[in-house]
A and B are shown apart, each in its own frame.
Chain A
Amino acid sequence: MEIKYVPAGDSALVMYFSEEVDLKTNKFILALWNKVLDKKITGVLEAVPTYCTLCIYYNPAKIRVSQLKEILENMREEIYPDTLEGKTFDIPVVYGSEYGPDLAYVSSAHGLTAKEVVDLHSAPTYHVYMVGFAPGFPYLGGLSEKLFTPRKKTPALGIPAGSVGIGGQQTAVLSVTGPSGWYFIGRTPVKFYDIYREPPILIKPGDKIKFKPITEAEYQKYAGEG
């Protein structure tokens, strides 16, 4: 794999692995990211993995960029992406009704029944490529092509945290309440983000998510306990 190292300002070095989303490449990036964190390299402040890049934030007073590159080059030789150990989270979701007001639209747009949409959406084990956009917002890969749905022309406001939606080729759980142009087909009582919880963010890049359909009563029970 050819990796391009490009400076992004005086304190960040970006490693570009490819220009297309690819599960194998992302797993390699996440395995390298874990290694960078484990090794606690002097002068490295933090590292942010994304679909196809790894951005290393460093302090140039503590480490030279040439040294940093050399360390990263040596590290990548030791990476076995298959050993990436993410946790798998079962995420309970109520599909439809006021919890997922766009289920009817998504069903009719694809000529499917609501049940077929729920089955297609809850079947895969989704890989968390990266977390960003908002605190704790997971970018998931693995959505069935049958559910790809172009975004709304105008974003809706005040979509509640926990809403499970589809936007283009992606599916995700909104970690914070806010505007969104996605179609929301369900909601989970699980809090993906709670700053006063330890840890505040539930899911890390490299983890996996499996959606599990539940009833409204089960949602209420979970939300009450949570």
Chain B
Amino acid sequence: MANGIFEVITPGLLTTLQDLGRFGSQYQGIPTAGAMDVTALVIGNRLVQNDPSEVGLEITFYGPKLRVLTDVTVAVTGGNLSPKVDGDPLPMWETVYLRKGSVLSFGPRQWGIRSYLTVSGGVDAEPLLGSKSTDLRSGFGGYQGRAIQKGDLLEGSTLQDENIRSLRFPEELIRKPGQEQEIRVILGPELHHFTNEAVQLFTQATYTISDKMDRMGMRLKGTEINHSEKGPNILTNATPLGAVQIPGDGQPIILLKDRQTAGGYPKIAVTITPDISMLAQMGPGSKLRFKSVSLEEAHQLLEEYQQLMDFRLELIEN
């Protein structure tokens, strides 16, 4: 039976419920949404013995303050936003037990911009079109189709916790954004809309993430990318996750989870899946460079990435 797990004392900057995303409805114009950092969500779910596709709380920049209403097993993964319980540091990337009456909060940002709070047994959210993810723009899914607010009550059917083992994921296996982070892409699909010189510049330049960034995408600032005589418009077509569009001003836009399902700017490249989690942890002012890889290399890297998410968790001896 559902009972209260958290009462929201303060909501944080943007805290939404997200799972792996909503697939199969893009042809109807419905975005996938879903966790920006899938790596962190999947590992978080495994740490509390949930199905990897269970919904978790995606916490952005400034975390919420939550009153714990029942004894519950949780994990905090992703970027380090200094999670605390009753003011004491809470270990990340491992199974932790929270006691009824304690308060979970977050402090200064250590690295990354998004943390994930997974709860054993999940948090209640209505599945719509096969997913519990919050669609912020259309206002459905997750918790009442919106980010959590002060006074909200998150409920769930928490499992009886005695049998849940304490597990840990070795955090050193997680790649963190560097000073000038390399983002690997496959060039195309609309390469003919760019001059050869522009494509070369694209993989040599350093770009800075502007403050125009959200779950839909991020606008970059840096070397202008010139279009070929074909120009900056294409007939609207599908926009895959991580696609790098170049609009008329020549400044790249990377499309992320809440992107529209189709768009009319040519795409010079598409980010490889393993590097989406990296982008999810980068904020305004972060610098990046694009590196072109072949489709074969990308598939090899994807296989290695899958192995990382399936990594055997270490048992914590108590």
**Among A49, A51, A60, which residue has the most Cβ atoms of chain B within 10 A?**
A60
B128 touching A11, Cβ below 8 Å:
no
Partner of B24, one of A45, A133, A205: A45
Among A1-9, A91-99, A119-127, A152-160, the stretch in contact with B: A1-9
A55 touching B138, Cβ below 8 Å:
no
Say if the beta carbon of A217 comes within 8 Å of chain B. Answer: no
A60 to B295, CA, bound (A): 10
Say if the beta carbon of B23 comes within 8 Å of chain A. Answer: yes
A65 touching B295, Cβ below 8 Å:
yes
Residues of A within 8 A of B236 (CB): 50-51, 130, 132-133, 139
A132 touching B189, Cβ below 8 Å:
no
Residues of B within 8 A of A57 (CB): 23, 26, 240
Partner of B262, one of A6, A65, A130: A130
Residues of chain A from 1 to 32 with CB closer than 8 A to chain B in the complex: 6-12, 14, 16, 19-21
Among B44-52, B175-183, B268-276, the stretch in contact with A: B268-276
Bin the interface of chain B by size.
35 or more
Indicate whether A46 sits within 8 Å of B235 (C-beta atoms), given known contacts A9-B271, A60-B302.
no
A49 to B299, CA, bound (A): 24
Residues of chain A from 36 to 62 with CB closer than 8 A to chain B in the complex: 45-53, 55, 57, 60-61
Say if the beta carbon of B303 comes within 8 Å of chain A. Answer: yes
A55 touching B188, Cβ below 8 Å:
no
- The binding surface of chain A is classed by DSSP as loop
Residues of A within 8 A of B189 (CB): 6-8, 14, 16
Q: List 30 A-B contacts (CB under 8 A).
A: A7-B189, A8-B240, A9-B240, A9-B241, A9-B243, A9-B271, A9-B272, A10-B295, A10-B302, A11-B273, A11-B302, A12-B270, A48-B27, A48-B262, A50-B237, A50-B262, A53-B238, A57-B240, A65-B299, A132-B29, A133-B262, A134-B138, A135-B29, A135-B30, A136-B28, A195-B128, A200-B128, A201-B25, A201-B29, A204-B27
Given contacts A12-B240, A52-B235, 20 further A-B contacts (CB under 8 A): A8-B188, A8-B270, A9-B240, A10-B302, A20-B235, A46-B24, A48-B238, A48-B261, A50-B236, A51-B237, A53-B237, A61-B303, A61-B306, A132-B29, A132-B236, A133-B29, A133-B262, A135-B29, A175-B29, A176-B138
Listed in ascending order, the chain B residues whose CB lies under 8 Å from chain A are: 23-30, 128-129, 138, 140, 185-186, 188-189, 235-238, 240-243, 260-262, 267, 270-273, 295, 298-299, 301-303, 306
